[in-house]
Structure 1
Amino acid sequence: MATEQPDLIGPDEVAYRLELTPAQLKVTWTALKTLADDLGHDEHDVLEVVRQVLAKLPDENAIRAIRLDQPR
């Protein structure tokens, strides 16, 4: 008989911290924005989570100012 495992991380707890370079941040923001724009009406729960993540990132103007073609 299987027993249910309790959630290891609560729904409002931080699950992961991620350090990104400016270029990685821009790519991440762009991917999430594209995903949000492409989600359908049946995926409102996923859209809400994507919007919550985007809200934690810098605003669109700050992201657009990041240049990907800068030399390393």
Structure 2
Amino acid sequence: MASEERTQPGEERGGEELIGPDDVAYRLELTPAQLKVTWTALKTLMDDLGHDEHDVLEIVRQVLAKLPDEHAIRAIRLP
């Protein structure tokens, strides 16, 4: 592919979405402390979402399901 045709993940090219709704869009490596902060932020977001934000709530639940369980996260000590 020529460099002028390259797109970033999530961009469209020729009317086609490059990343499908069930495709992996990004991989992320986290330190234990970063993982704990990420998990805590997602739990806080989930608790703050209203009833009218059901779609976002479901996505947050799906992401949390990919992370270690609460017991494992709580065992991580922050510096």
The Cα RMSD (Å) is 0.9
Higher strand share goes to which structure?
Answer: 2
1:12 aligns with 2:22: yes
The percentage of aligned residue pairs carrying the same residue is 86
1:62 aligns with 2:72: yes
Cα shift at 1:8: 0.7
- Identify which of structures 1 and 2 has the higher relative contact order when contacts are C-alpha pairs closer than 8 Å and 6+ apart: 1
Matched AA of 2:39: W
Q: For 2:27 and 2:17, how far apart are their aligned partners in 1?
A: 19
- The unaligned stretches of length 5 or more in structure 1 are none
With the length of structure 2 as denominator, give the TM-score of the two structures.
0.81
Q: Residue 42 of structure 1 corresponds to which residue in structure 2? A: 52
Q: Residue 26 of structure 1 corresponds to which residue in structure 2? A: 36
Q: For 2:41 and 2:76, how far apart are their aligned partners in 1?
A: 15
With the length of structure 1 as denominator, give the TM-score of the two structures.
0.89
- The unaligned stretches of length 5 or more in structure 2 are 1-13
